[in-house]
Amino acid sequence: MSRGHRLFYPALPVVAEHAPHRAVYVGDADGRCEILAWDRAAGTARQVTDRPAGTVRAALDPAGATIWWFDDDLGGVGTWRTCDFDRPDRSVEALPSVLPARHAGIAMAADGTTAVGLSDDGGMTVFLRTGDGRVGERVHVGGYAYLVDLDPAGRLLVVGADAATDPAVTVFTADGVRVAAIGGGPDRRVWALGFAPGVDPARLLLVVEDEGGYLPATWTAAEGVVRHGWCRFDTEITAGWFPDGRRLLVRQDRHARTLLYEVDLAARTRTVVDTPPGSVLDAAVWPDGDVAYVWTDSVTPPQLRSVRGVELPEHPGGHSEAGGPDAGAAPADYRREEIRVPGPGGPIPALVALPADREGPRPAVFLVHGGPFQHARDAYDPLVEILVSTGCAVVRVNYRGSSGYGAAWRNDFSAGVGLTQLEDLAAVRAHLVAEGVVEDRRTALWGTSWGGYLTLLALGRQPELWRLGIAISPVADYVAAFEAATPAVRALDVLLFGGTPDEVPQRYARSSPVTYVDRVRAPVLLAVSTGDVRCPPGPVEHYARLLAERRVPHQVVRRRAGHEDFDAQSHLALMQTVLLFMQRHFDGVQDEGTPIALAMARPVG
């Protein structure tokens, strides 16, 4: 059943396992993401956090009595705090003896015993807080790792690492003794998802990559890993348990959309859960058995839906533009197409949005997705609406490296990191120009994070193709960014390049935008955030100085934010700046009263 209320942040509320009438979720508080406590029985919500940069990480103990929330700075370093569900205005430090660090997971046993993962440059440490408030260190893992779960009995905890490494998953006792290690590999990745509720002995859910497909697996101490090969999927999946500990809710990303399945491991059955066409950004089975999910499509902002018709409450401090039932005026009138374009690695999927009232070739903006293992999907993106209303075609390419199209496509970086993706972007551009859809001399790139990196790389590697670049929180110098980044980001870089910059320097240089800065001719807007530890601002500032020395038109926007910005007003100001830059430097972009404030008041997706 559909409801008019929407989520300000595209993640499901967290529902108390033993008190399903209590939940916490990320809501809108004066244009910021903040944590709200939701009494589902009373249909009311109260604001829990109130921080200048917003708050997006929270948990709720199984009894529904204690709210946990993460009090971090712009760089993601912080501490967990707790408050009583009935008195959310009074919070205390949850782990008073533990130094601030980055969030790396939180999990709770049935009795409220809580495991917390915290990471720093030295690795990841798991701390355990028992019901009487005692806190102790249990596990330390060097390098990149994260806490996955604590079993309901509080006896086992599981830690995940890079899915392609050995071990990818490690199971420990609550005292820190290693019980089992599950290895992954470049073509046999393994992800741990969590323990089954209320099951003894503990049963861990996994997803494994196998022969180009994906399938669920389970682990127990007695049986080890059991693969459920009868339930194979051709594209990426994630999954969670039903409360009975026997069935799974599987979410499959497939060809820009999402499918949900109920999988019965004992009966060996797989049944489609009926959802509208579009994308499901999050899904779970709540303790009362309701299947809840965050749904969106190209014209509908993310909203909470469920089989039983759950509805978010009204709450003080929120804006109807961001989360109320009347949010979202009628979308801009535009045509949407899905195409497949011949490419060097096979057919390249792309989503194309076109102004409905204009014929002939149009200026085009290629919105370059990040990740790298994300994908453009049938989901609401306010930028599409904004840019189409200015007269531009909008193109979103699911180039090689994108998820949703199978392991072979996702893992293809055969021409080099970034360079493979540029081949596909160029192929789609050439096809649309040949078909008379876009103008040859008026195509622009716009990307955030890894999409911003591809934007800068394309401007230097393919200067004859692109007439403007918008790069928000990009990587401009891969070596410098590697040195300044977090262990998680460095682990991803090592996976992509096959080593560190010291081990494979030529690969990093060949794929780094700064290598090609002498060839950049198009105007460039660069947006950096002071607290960004994933794409550090220093190398981008240096890249901007190199552009200035070469007299390349450019503008640098500096924001007080982390890699992600949860302040709607900050988003609005950035979009206004970007559109003014485009109007100055990119012929064809027109100011036609685009509802920027309305569209950008929802920092979701």
User: DSSP states of 202-257 as a string?
Assistant: --EEEEEEETTEEEEEEEETTTEEEE-TTS-BSS-EEEEE-TTSSEEEEEEEETTE
Burial 427-447 (b: 16+ CB within 10 A, else e): bbbebbbeeebbbeebbbbbb
Q: Give me the percent of the chain exceeding a pLDDT of 90.
A: 78
User: For residue 70, which of 109, 28, 33 has the smallest C-alpha distance?
Assistant: 33
- pLDDT for residue 315 is more than 70: no
Rounded to two decimals, what is the model's pTM? Answer: 0.91
| 327 token code pair | 């949010």
User: DSSP label at 514?
Assistant: G
Residues forming beta bridges with residue 304, ordered by sequence position: 294
Q: pLDDT tens digits, residue range 211-229?
A: 889 999 999 999 999 999 9
- pLDDT for residue 16 is more than 80: yes
pLDDT of the residue at 221? 96
Coil vs helix vs strand at 65: coil
Q: pLDDT tens digits, residue range 474-503?
A: 999 999 999 988 888 898 999 899 999 999
Q: pLDDT tens digits, residue range 381-430?
A: 989 999 999 899 999 999 999 999 999 999 999 999 999 999 999 999 99
Stretch 170-177: mean pLDDT:
97
pLDDT band at 147 (very low <50, low <70, confident <90, very high): very high
pLDDT of the residue at 443? 97
User: Where do the domains of the chain lie, and which CATH numbers do they carry?
Assistant: 334-600 (3.40.50.1820)
pLDDT band at 512 (very low <50, low <70, confident <90, very high): very high
Coil vs helix vs strand at 583: helix
Q: pLDDT tens digits, residue range 45-66?
A: 999 999 988 999 999 999 999 9
User: DSSP label at 187?
Assistant: T
| 398 token code pair | 């699911």
Burial label for 545, CB within 10 Å (0-12, 13-18, 19+), is: exposed
Mean pLDDT of the chain: 90
pLDDT of the residue at 599? 39
pLDDT of the residue at 380? 93
For residues 402 and 421, what is the distance between their CA atoms, to the nearest angstrom? 9
Quick one: the chain helix, strand, coil %, rounded to 5?
20, 40, 45
pLDDT band at 5 (very low <50, low <70, confident <90, very high): very low
The Cβ of residue 384 has, within 10 Å, a number of other Cβ atoms equal to 25
- pLDDT for residue 323 is more than 50: no
pLDDT of the residue at 316? 54
Stretch 5-29: mean pLDDT:
87
Angstrom distances, CA of residue 36 to CA of 32, 270, 312: 12, 35, 11
Stretch 540-566: mean pLDDT:
91
Q: pLDDT tens digits, residue range 103-132?
A: 999 999 999 999 999 999 999 999 999 988
pLDDT of the residue at 332? 54
User: For residue 249, which of 279, 283, 220, 278 has the smallest C-alpha distance?
Assistant: 283
| 369 token code pair | 């997705």
Least-confidence region, from 143-147, 164-168, 262-266, 595-599: 595-599
Coil vs helix vs strand at 459: helix
Burial label for 340, CB within 10 Å (0-12, 13-18, 19+), is: middle
Coil vs helix vs strand at 461: helix
- pLDDT for residue 581 is more than 60: yes
pLDDT of the residue at 30? 83
Pure H helices in 376-524: 382-389, 407-410, 419-434, 450-461, 478-484, 487-497, 505-510
CA angle at 375 for the pair 107 and 356, rounded to the nearest 5°: 130
pLDDT band at 473 (very low <50, low <70, confident <90, very high): very high
605 vs 418, residue with greater confidence? 418
Cβ atoms of 174 and 109 closer than 8 Å: no
Q: pLDDT tens digits, residue range 261-296?
A: 999 999 999 999 999 999 999 999 999 999 999 999
Q: In what side-by-side order are the strands of the sheet with 190-195? A: 190-195, 204-210, 213-220, 224-227
Stretch 465-471: mean pLDDT:
98
Pairing relationship of beta strands 438-448 and 468-472 according to DSSP bridges: parallel
SS3 annotation, 120-168: ECCEEEEEEECCCCCEEEEEEECCCCEEEEECCCCCEEEEECCCCCCCC
7 vs 525, residue with greater confidence? 525
Cβ atoms of 322 and 601 closer than 8 Å: yes
Angstrom distances, CA of residue 533 to CA of 59, 434, 475, 480, 505: 24, 41, 11, 12, 22
Cβ atoms of 293 and 413 closer than 8 Å: no
User: DSSP label at 6?
Assistant: B
SS3 annotation, 247-316: EEEEEEEECCEEEEEEEECCCCEEEEECCCCCEEEEEEECCCCCEEEEEEECCEEEEEEECCCCCCCCCC
